[in-house]
Amino acid sequence: MEAVEFQTEIKNGVIEIPVAYQSALAEGIQVKVIVLKQQRQEHIQAFKTLLKETQALPQAQTITEAEIAVEIEAYRSGT
């Protein structure tokens, strides 16, 4: 399945395909549509920003892969 991404507004229950994609998305072909509301995108962006800020903290810079592995194993084993 080939993905095409664009932003548009829903008008009267219709999602308009931008002109740039209309020839590739000819009438009658089957498509799968996933709608992401802008509010959701804003939450995703805020979460990504939070992750970057957290990763930039000095505490996050000093932890090693080995320490992470030990923490994961302890969590999985329930200790």
Q: Chunk the chain into consecutive blocks of 10 residues (it has 79) and report each block's average pLDDT, rounded to whole numbers.
A: 87 91 86 83 89 90 90 92
Q: What is the largest CA-CA distance in the chain?
A: 58
Return the pLDDT at 63. 87
Cα angle 5, 9, 15; round to 5: 70
Return the pLDDT at 42. 82
Under DSSP, the state recorded for 20 is H
Return the pLDDT at 49. 94
Give DSSP secondary structure letters for 21-74.
Answer: HHTTS-TT---------HHHHHHHHHHHHHHHHHHHSHHHHH--HHHHHHHHHH
